[in-house]
Amino acid sequence: MATKTAPINMRVEPSVRNILDAAASILKVDRTVFIQQAALAEAYEVLANQKDFTLDEQAFAAFEQALDATPTRNEGMADLLSRKAPWE
């Protein structure tokens, strides 16, 4: 069964369309795919950079508990950080 799609329409200056088309052509995708990928990447970035979030009481208690817990030693990370850098 095909997934339904939702249209998003926009108007841009011809010069903007030309730039989008040129970039899409370089990536060998059509304009729609190029715009979708670019918009999705930016949307993920915006969402990932949100500093404010809310938690219910149970989730907040678990969050605080994780912050207050004594860090555990990661042997693999300790080994990696103790090695001499390849360029040294």
Q: What is the tens place of the pLDDT at every residue in 5-39?
A: 899 999 999 999 999 999 999 999 999 999 999 99
CA–CA dist 40, 28 (Å, integer)? 18
pLDDT given for residue 1 in this prediction: 60
Could you tell me the two tokens for 78? Answer: 């300790």
pLDDT given for residue 4 in this prediction: 80
Would you say residue 69 has pLDDT above 80? yes
Contact between 20 and 35 (Cβ < 8 Å): yes
**What residue ranges do the domains of the chain occupy?**
12-50
Q: What is the tens place of the pLDDT at every residue in 49-67?
A: 888 878 999 999 999 999 9
Could you tell me the two tokens for 43? Answer: 């949307």
Q: How far from chain centre, in Å, is Cα 39?
A: 11
Closest CA to 20 of 6, 5, 37: 37
